[in-house]
Amino acid sequence: MVVATEAIVLHTLKYAEADVIAHCYTLSDGRKSYMLRRILKSKKGALKISLFQPLTQLEIIANHKNKGTLESIREAKVLYPYKTLHTDVVKGSVVLFLSEVLKDAIQEEEANSALYHYISSAFIFLDALEDFANFHIYFLLNLTQYLGFYPEVTDEKHLYFNLLEGTFQEKSSNGYCEKGSHVEALRQFFGIKIDAIPQIKLNKTTRLEVLHLLIRYYQIHLHGFRKPKSLPILNQLFQ
């Protein structure tokens, strides 16, 4: 079946000498994987490898057999040309990190327009954002709404955050309960709009602790979720 859809590039993997497998999140069908034949050597082909940088937003015409095998792309063009995400070194590191998170977190081959538009609009916003030190924290926390394990915030003023239950509570009840400045910092991200991100001021140590708290939260609630390989690079940023 020939499908015209929007797609966000999650990850690419070189295959053989000149082929690439591109994992994308599509508006029409959720996650899809495409074999891009000879794209690393083709100079006149319709597809260029530059189109498949992490989190690039595309319009594609693709062949979807929907049999769990690799699909193919006939045509592709950039839907939203980023101005900074692939040229700013620091933003590029954030993009690499979050593309790794999305690659592991999203596995469903079914449409989810709310999740798609959240990802799309968030990175368009990041492209224009100047103070983006806390963007990845906001993005990861709010992504859990679409993945099904957003924390229960009814008792968010309680001292402990129970990562297993996704709740705040007065006392520690298991080995998954945490308290401290990183939990206090996390509270600041609940219920805010995306344009309020720069108003939250965190030092580097606290920001890293919040990030590692969220990574652990993902590992608990998403089967097979791995700590991103680019995490050490992100740890060095945002002095």
- For domain 2-80, the CATH superfamily is Nucleic acid-binding proteins (2.40.50.140)
CATH 1.20.1440.120 fits 89-235, yes or no: yes
Residue 239 has pLDDT above 70, yes or no: no
Q: Which two tokens stand for residue 153?
A: 């915030």
**pTM of the predicted model, to two decimals?**
0.94
Residue 48 has pLDDT above 60, yes or no: yes
> Lowest mean pLDDT: which of 15-24, 37-46, 92-101?
37-46
**Buried/exposed code over 17-52 (b: 16+ C-beta within 10 A; e: otherwise):** eeebebbbbbbbbbbbbbbbbebeeeeeeebebebb
Cβ atoms of residues 178 and 161 within 8 Å? yes
Residue 86 has pLDDT above 60, yes or no: yes
Give mean pLDDT, residues 215-227.
Answer: 95
Phi-psi label, residue 51: left if phi above 0, alpha if psi -120 to 50, beta otherwise: alpha
* 41 confidence band (pLDDT: 50, 70, 90): confident
Residue 177 has pLDDT above 80, yes or no: yes
Phi-psi label, residue 41: left if phi above 0, alpha if psi -120 to 50, beta otherwise: alpha
Q: Where are the domains of the chain?
A: 2-80, 89-235
- State pLDDT tens for residues 140-176: 999 999 999 999 988 888 999 999 999 999 999 999 9
The one-letter amino acid at 216: R
- State pLDDT tens for residues 181-214: 999 999 999 999 999 999 999 999 999 999 999 9
Q: How large a percentage of the chain has pLDDT more than 90?
A: 87
Domains 2-80 and 89-235 share a fold: no
Residue 238 has pLDDT above 70, yes or no: no
Give the pLDDT confidence score for residue 46 in this predicted structure.
78
* Helical ranges in 31-86 per DSSP H: none
145, 156, 185, 187 from 190: Cα distances, Å? 11, 9, 10, 6
